[in-house]
A and B are shown apart, each in its own frame.
Chain A
Amino acid sequence: MSADSGVQSSGGANREGETPAQVAETVTDETSVDVDRDERVELERTIGLGGGLAIGVGTMIGAGIFVFPGIAAGRAGPAAAASFAIGGVVALLVALPASELATAMPRSGGGYYFISRGLGTMAGTMVGISLWLGLVFASAFYLVGFGSYATAALAEVGIGFAVSPVTVLGLAFGAVLTALSVTGTENAAKLQNAVVGLLLVILTLFLGYGGLDALGVFGNATTPETFLPFGTVPVFTTAALVFTSYLGFVQVATVAGEIQDPGRNLPLAMVGSVLVVTVFYVVTVFVATSAIGSTRLAGFGETAIVEVARVLLGPLGAVAIFVAGLLATLSSANASILSSSRAIFALSRDALLPRRAGTVNLRYGTPHLALAMAGVPVLGLVALGEVELLAEVASFLHLVMYGLICVALVQLRRNRPDWYDPSFEVPGYPVVPALGAVASFGLIAFMQPLSQLVGVALMIAAAGWYVFYARDVSLRGKL
């Protein structure tokens, strides 16, 4: 491993005597370059703005449109649209500070990287492990959503089952995704971009028509129901639940080391994807509650949006939304497993997990151990099948990281290490990061007690791991 040149090196060894693998990389628009002892090593950057947006939107859009509208409408009525809007505002308040940090540190690992450098090893370990597990929970949640769509689709063509096959289908496809990611899938990113593009087209047509219909262009405007049938508190608890729909934007930062022209593309991809999905979510809930009313919507559960399409556009619309839902949930699950393995790599690089966890095999060129450490627990959680618990724990673990991202930004701005030179600066400092932190932690307070309990238990376990394994590793302030 190369020695550090120029930048101060990290110190301390973990329980197995491994130290953080620090390399001085010069970031250009197209590569990260390390020139050391006349040996020049270059890491190609291959993801453009479109690819970055596709990662963000592709990770997020599966949940907010295809899984949550029915559940959310059951909890908050038509005001579920406001819940999604609240989620979008919170996400935006974090996306801006995260963008600044990402342009200052365009390295793989995203939120984990910022926090370990801004707030030190303990906070870093806790966030790194909760990012890993948060993505595992999120991926399991998407797979259960996928199982619901597949089951409903099978029922649609007349294939019924005595026992609901949701879990079995989720498990089967989770195993397939993990196996595919280990053996290497060619052009998966191009496929993902195409899928996201197709989804946006289907949704734009569907929502465009539905929106005009709701406003009365094709006949009578639908009679609005009471906007707040259950009061204001459910709006916030629902926002906490559906926040899982906004977890994708920091996934853009986990591949920051591969994004071309990171100073420009990282902020655009992160903020842009949040704005895009917020608009889609709010319009979806508006259209859905206008078309069939929140009570009926709630009755359809995870696949409620299919019924909305059936009412508005007939059987063809329902088929289109079935296809879109299957694609969207699967692509979200896949993106989350891949991002989770990146988090494990970032931890192992910094000696917070055994180095072996991040190694790449020569045969497939993939990090098989990291992918297994992400994929196998996903299957365990799918078997659990608790959609709302999975969603909230995923959000909990991410929200802790989001709050700390905002804190890390303030910390780095105040200490300003020499290397801290972001090309994008958050507007409205320090109000925006302060609000971002308060909103992130605040949203956690509105979750179900069980989700909070699981989340806190996982954070304590992560802290315990730090004390046991990596107490002597020092990362703070070091690039």
Chain B
Amino acid sequence: MRQRILVPLEILEGETVGPGVVDLLASTDVVLLGYHVIPEQTAPSQARMTFEEKAQAKLNDAAEALREAGATVETVLAFTPEREQTLDRVAADHDCDAVLHLNPVMEDENLLVVLHGDVDAERIGRFTAAFVDGRDVDVTVLEVTPPDEAATRTGVVTDALVDGGYPRQRLTREHVESTTPVKAIAEVATAFDAMVMGEKAPNLRALVFGDFEERVAAESIGAVFVVRREDRES
């Protein structure tokens, strides 16, 4: 089953889909969202009047590169005062399985799956199994827990992968105990080209510091796939 992935690009800020990411996305259905964030004193229709042509041309270029690699691509161009609202809405409108946070990755040889907090391990497992299907990629499943807590969920992901036909001998399981999960994950992630993690329920910390996933993505050098929560899709 092909995975549908939302790829947001801040299109007029020069954000592009790098060659490594194009390869990662080659066998997926991509919803390519070119967005432009505008301040409150500007009407979205006003920004559109000025920027649409340029933005659409850039978006079409990016879409073409993905299509050549084998992905199917739908494009959406959005002018918005609220980036998060637009990402969430477009992901829901198009029923996306995951949202990709771009980073300048150049390879697609190994993949880190991260479990931390109240994420849905089964869903992450299913997504990863479908994503690695037919790919030559090593997978490491990492669970991050507070100190002195056992890792209990890596098996859920590895079982899903093995059920999906992925060879067990290429799987690695890791457990890290840490009080600073963002840093801990970023440290492990330096050795990987791409990462899969789950979206967490919004909480107070996220309101203050930003989404956990976004902070990890900001600390990492590889592309980060954030598997969307199930309850959000109703």
Contacts and interface: CB of A to CB of B under 8 A. Distances in A.
24 contacts: A1-B52, A21-B49, A23-B45, A23-B48, A40-B74, A40-B75, A41-B79, A42-B76, A44-B44, A44-B86, A108-B45, A181-B41, A184-B41, A188-B41, A257-B45, A258-B44, A358-B46, A360-B46, A360-B51, A362-B12, A362-B51, A365-B36, A366-B42, A371-B41
A189 interface: yes
A366 B79 CA distance: 13
Contacts of B49: 1, 21, 349, 358-360
A365 B45 contact: no
Contact of A43 (B48, B53, B74): B48
Given A31-B89, A360-B42, A371-B41, 4 more contacts: A2-B52, A40-B74, A41-B79, A360-B49
Given A39-B77, A359-B50, A367-B46, A46 B41 contact: no
A342 interface: yes
Interface in B36-88: 36-53, 56, 74-82, 85-86
A186 B51 CA distance: 21
Interface string A258-282: 1000000000000000000000000
B182 to A, nearest CB: 24
A2 B53 CA distance: 9
B48 A41 contact: yes
Interface string A311-338: 0000000000000000000000000001
Interface of B: 12, 36-53, 56, 74-82, 85-86, 89-90
A31 B33 CA distance: 15
A44 B41 contact: no
A184 to B, nearest CB: 4
Given A44-B78, A44-B85, A46-B81, A345 B39 contact: no
B49 to A, nearest CB: 6
Contacts of A295: none
Contacts of B42: 360, 365-367
A309 B71 CA distance: 68
A189 B82 CA distance: 12
Contact of A186 (B39, B50, B90): B39
Contacts of B41: 181, 184-185, 188, 338, 341, 366-367, 371
A108 B46 contact: yes
A30 interface: yes
Contacts of B53: 1
A365 B47 CA distance: 8
A30 B74 CA distance: 20
Contacts of B50: 358-360
B80 A32 contact: no
Contacts of A189: 40
A145 B37 CA distance: 34
Interface in A29-53: 30-32, 39-44, 46
Nearest to B54: A362
Contacts of B81: 44, 46, 258
B143 to A, nearest CB: 36
A360 B77 contact: no
Contacts of A185: 39-41
A46 B42 CA distance: 12
B79 A44 contact: yes
Contact of A46 (B52, B75, B82): B82
A364 interface: yes
Given A43-B79, A44-B86, A32 B45 contact: yes
Contacts of B86: 42, 44
A107 interface: yes
A257 B43 contact: yes
A365 B77 contact: no
A363 to B, nearest CB: 11
B88 to A, nearest CB: 10
B153 to A, nearest CB: 35
Contact of A108 (B43, B51, B85): B43
A371 B51 CA distance: 18
A313 B86 CA distance: 48
B77 A41 contact: yes
Given A44-B85, A185-B39, A338-B41, A360 B47 contact: yes
Contacts of A345: 43, 46
A255 interface: yes
A467 B87 CA distance: 46
Contacts of A342: 43, 46
Q: Which of B42, B79, B81 has the most CB of A within 10 A?
A: B42
B94 to A, nearest CB: 10
Contacts of A42: 76-80, 86, 90
A1 B76 CA distance: 16
Interface string A388-405: 000000000000000000
A58 to B, nearest CB: 13
A366 B36 CA distance: 12
Interface string A238-261: 000000000000000001011000
Contacts of A358: 46, 49-50
Contacts of A31: 78, 89
